[in-house]
Structure 1
Amino acid sequence: MSDHFRLTLAQLNPTVGAIAANAEKARKAWGQAKAAGSDLLALPEAFITGYQTQDLVMRPQFFRDAMAAVDQLAADCADGPAIGIGGPFHDGAHLFNAYYILHGGKVAARVLKQRLPNFTVFDEERQFTSADPQGPVAMGPIRIGIPICEDAWHGEDVCETLAESGAEFLLIPNGSPYYRRKFDVRVNHMVARVVETGLPLIYLNMVGGQDDQVFDGGSFALNPGGELAFRMATFDEEIRHFDLNRADDGWCIAPGAIAVHGDEWEQDYRAMVESLRDYMSKTGFKQVLLGLSGGIDSAIVATIAADALGPENVRCVMLPSEYTSQSSLDDAKDIAQRLGCTYDFVPIKEGRDAITNTLAPLFEGTTPDVTEENIQSRLRGLLLMALSNKTGAMLLTTGNKSEVAVGYATIYGDMSGGYNPIKDLYKTRVFEQCRWRNANHRDWMKGPEGEVIPVSIIDKPPSAELRPDQKDEDSLPPYEVLDAILEGLIDDEKSVAELVADGFDRATVKKVEHLIFISEYKRFQSAPGTRLTMRSFWLDRRYPIVNRWRDES
């Protein structure tokens, strides 16, 4: 019996619903595995369909198409290494999240997922049936245990059962989306599985953006004892070949290159760039436009867009009113020029005057208030959407998580747009993220290097500029205070009493809590945006729009 097994890992980027294209990616990877003399090509969880499919996978014709594509892939790749690929399996009664082993022109084995995640962004209990325990898959000289994603994430019985039933190595295909500092979480869980089973382990993750989620790769291997054998890059597609060798005490993964991963600022920024890039390419859009106000939020969104798509595909539009300061006019033009984006100057006075005159008879006897302020924002939204419709460029919206949380944004105004890269980035982090981008440039950025965001934008007091001398802090606590309270209420689910015990003013906490709850209807209608935390708005945090409860602790 051979004491050697070669494995090709394909850390690739599938597209949800592009079954034929995903299968073609698998065929090309199989060709590289064959050329390398591999015994097995491993692809991530749900690769044939892309991930996450949500309820699409429950559509009978969809899962039938996916299963047929797997069968065809097996037939097309009969002469060469085996293939491991994730996809749905319907047995005539139940739908499973499966991992297929293709060999010799057919489906040689099928592993079914046992532990179905049903938290944060996952709803697999809604979509799939949980499978019964299964044993390892024999492949040449080795018996491979294949716990699918969640099967290996918890100290339950799946991995230990595989080890007890003869597995000599664990291959874990994943669709594990990014959140800040998640790599360390993954490693800690997998080290625990290695310690429990005494087996070497390879954790294979996909890359690419899907709606709000980004799959960040970072596939890695651990040998018995928990020693890191190799680590692949984050966010990049990569195909690499690895060897397992058997010694007297069992199988061991031959050491490979250990990729360097960026810090949390680089990872967050990369996630925002990749999510926008993939959202565009996978939906068919080529160009974007955005309202460039001269403020920090639109500045960082313009920079992310330039890095994701190239400055030539980004159109920045300044839409000033009489309240727009000269510094904002100067800063908006400055950043567009630094980035190399198209810049348009479109004053809104004439349109605003027309709307004001139209509404005058209806508003007679009332006092000007936020209504008139919001007309400016909604007029900008109308003009930007008209430009989007006419040119085919997708409009980006630019509200940060602090604004999205408390509703400091105008629905059907500055909230208009198809995607929001900074939706999960609190305002205080926006400032730091801008400083990071000014100081760093990477080869995956299509925008220019250097200080692309003027320091004057970073340093100026934030303002919506909808009335004279307006500042955000006229309506909100200072962002350092606001963000700390928001993290407590949203990210940590703390009570009002707990935040007061932490030193925050009770009236301020109650005001923020009130703003969060009454803004739920706005978030329900807001554009999707990059998920950076485990408490992003949409699937991570699901609150009712109608809600009369308040925390009186």
Structure 2
Amino acid sequence: KSLLPSYDVFDETRYFLPAGASTTAAAPEGLGVPLGLSVCEDIWNDQRFWDRPRYARDPIADLVRAGAGLVVNVSASPYAMGKAPLRERMLAASARDHGAPIAYVNQVGGNDALLFDGGSMLLARDGAVLARAPLFEEAVLVCDLDGGAPRALGLDGRPLPPPPAPAADPQADEVLRALVMGVRDYVRKCGFRQAVVGLSGGIDSALTACIAAEALGAENVLGVGMPSRYSSGHSREDAAELARNLGVRFREIGIEPMHAAFLAALAADGAPPLCDLADQNVQARIRGQVLMAISNDTGALVLTTGNKSEIAVGYCTLYGDMAGGLAAIGDVPKTLVYRVARAANARAGRTLVPERTFTKPPSAELKPGQLDQDSLPPYDVLDDILQAYVEERRPLEAIVARGHDEATVRRVLRMVVQSEYKRRQAAPVLKVSEKAFGEGRRFPIAQGYRY
């Protein structure tokens, strides 16, 4: 491998030395053309495709100059929303510019935070796609440079079924499939078989449960409702209905006795009552304790249910709703959570997430009449600010220029900075965006600048 990336989640220059030259192999028997062998990043530096290439060398150009008649690129290219069509355009341009067909072979599966989407393809020398493997599914693609109908086979050699009709919301459906694959592989590769999810009746826990049920099988998922003195009747009903719709096991464990005991113990020596925020966090931490106790007892992995918007601004409780082994939707902004949950219903062809879960105002239900928007900007505003700051890495002035109130932007950025210590202690996040919270975004916890 000639080009070693050291950006976002990549750290290859720490561990490897780059190849001094690209490798061309003699023509295999029956093929008739020499093979140009390349690895992943080597094909991502076409000088004519990218406005600002990262490297001075173009290994594919070197291979073609050395006589390669077919460029083979083996990749472990992580998934991100919008990356599959970009990858295809880039490969088509490279084949066309270099006048050589390309066989692109990409990894499939989840490894910790990274999701590899497959999508292997064969491109003709004019950039036309001759064959394309499915996304998020292991397959054997049998195709011919001289034309003919390609065949996509499963690993057992049987033909794969034709792809389904395009989804109503293709991006949301794609994210759903990525997260299902990621949860399945993370749970399996870590030695678990089952998962436990706290079900609040809200949209985040509903989507997490849908992902878990599809990834692991409904029989391997336990949903736990943990109502408190502030839980609404509709939330309890929606949690139970979701569990019935999914076919997952369901338990309801009321936390009121535990909550009351905590408050009484903390006030036993005459101490003043807890402040409002501390009382809210006590409830969240009790719920985390309950889920972890079930996890320890049954061996099931706890899936946390916080979304990217909440994790970004610290609207979550350390050792409470953040307690668990995997943040399945931790890279999905709140506004996208609703779309992906709709996609889960559409994918199932029936109602999984109850309609009321989509339409009621979001609330943590940790005090009377509480709504998320009491302490956060509207989610469409919040998510656009976070998109600009976290993923596009724009400064405050550029975010304000998008039409946002400066005081609101400063408040959001301050919350992001001040919540770094929480994120450092959070469960791994499945990455579906260009910039997720995790090893690809490294910031110090102790920062002097607070906006």
Distance in 2, Cα, partners of 1:222 & 1:410: 49
Structure 1 outlier segments of 4+, above 6 Å: none
In the other structure, the counterpart of 2:206 is 299
Partner of 1:522: 422
Q: For residue 243 of structure 1, report the CA deviation from its aligned partner.
A: 3.1
Residue in structure 2 matching 1:133, options 21, 24, 31:
21
For the residue of structure 2 that corresponds to 1:194, the secondary structure is: helix
Sort the Cα spacing of 1:326 and 1:370 in 2 relative to 1 into closer, same or farther, 3 A.
same
Give the Cα–Cα distance (whole angstroms) in 1 for the partners of residues 269 and 418 of structure 2: 27
Match of 2:178 among 254, 271, 274: 271
> Pick from 106, 126, 134: which aligns with 1:205?
106
Task: Report the 3-state secondary structure (helix = DSSP H, G, I; strand = E; otherwise coil) of the residue aligned with 1:294.
Answer: coil
Residue 256 of structure 1: how far off its partner (Å): 2.1
1:503 aligns with 2:403: yes
Question: What amino acid maps onto 2:402 in structure 1?
Answer: D
Distance 1:151 1:368 in 2: 56
Is structure 2 residue 12 aligned with structure 1 residue 124? yes
Report how many residues are paired. 425
Flag the 1:367–1:162 CA change in 2: closer, same or farther, 3 A.
closer
1:397 aligns to 2:288 (yes or no) = no
State whether structure 2 residue 140 is matched by structure 1 residue 239.
Answer: yes
**Corresponding residue of 1:287:** 194
Separation in 1, partners of 2:137, 2:269: 57
The equivalent position to 1:439 in structure 2, one of 329, 342, 346, is 346
Amino acid at match of 1:133: A
TM-score relative to the length of structure 2: 0.91
The corresponding residue for 2:223 is 316
8 Å contact kept, 2:72–2:102: yes
Alignment counterpart, residue 317 of structure 2, candidates 410, 419, 423: 410
Deviation at 1:118, TM superposition (A): 1.1
Q: Which moved more, 1:136-145 or 1:457-466?
A: 136-145
Q: CA deviation at 1:433?
A: 1.3
Moved more, 182-191 or 354-363: 354-363
Structure 1 residue 160 displacement after superposition: 1.0
Q: CA deviation at 1:313?
A: 0.7
Change (3 A) 1:184 1:289: same
Residues 130, 143 of structure 2: 8 Å contact kept: no
Question: Could you list the runs of 5+ residues in structure 1 that have no partner in the other structure?
Answer: 1-112, 245-251, 442-448
Task: Name which one, 1 or 2, has greater alpha-carbon Rg.
Answer: 1
Counting only pairs closer than 5 Å after superposition, residues 88-487 of structure 1 correspond to structure 2 as 113-138=1-26, 139-140=28-29, 141-155=32-46, 156-244=57-145, 252=146, 254=148, 256=150, 260=163, 263-361=170-268, 364-365=271-272, 368-441=275-348, 449-487=349-387
**1:506-529 residue CA offsets vs partner (Å, 9 max, x unmatched):** 111000001000100111111112
Q: Which residue of 2 aligns with 1:26?
A: none
Tell me the amino acid that sits aligned with residue 150 of structure 2: G
Cα distance in 1 between the residues matched to 2:23 and 2:341: 50
Partner of 1:417: helix, strand, or coil? Answer: coil
Does the CA contact (< 8 Å) of 1:318 and 1:344 recur in 2?
yes
CA RMSD in angstroms, aligned pairs only: 1.6
Point out the structure with the larger strand share. Answer: 1
Structure 2 equivalent of residue 491 of structure 1: 391
| One-letter amino acid of the structure 1 residue matched with residue 432 of structure 2 | L
Shift of 1:257: 5.2
| Partner residue in 2 for 1:536 | 436
**CA positional deviation for 1:241:** 2.6
Tell me which amino acid in the other structure corresponds to 1:147: S
CA distance in 2, matches of 1:195, 1:440: 37
Going from structure 1 to structure 2, the CA distance change for 1:367 and 1:209 (only over 3 Å counts) comes to: closer
Decide which moves more: 465-474 or 139-148: 139-148
5+ long unaligned stretches in structure 2: 47-56, 153-161
Structure 2 Cα separation of the partners of residues 493 and 185 of structure 1: 20
Contact 1:306 1:339 in 2 (8 A): yes
> 1:292-332 CA deviation, whole Å, 9 max, x = no partner?
11111001101111111111111011111110001111111
Q: Percent identity?
A: 41
CA distance in structure 1 between the aligned counterparts of 2:331 and 2:274, rounded to whole angstroms = 36
Bigger drift between 501-510 and 184-193 goes to 184-193
Report the Cα offset of residue 242 of structure 1. Answer: 2.8
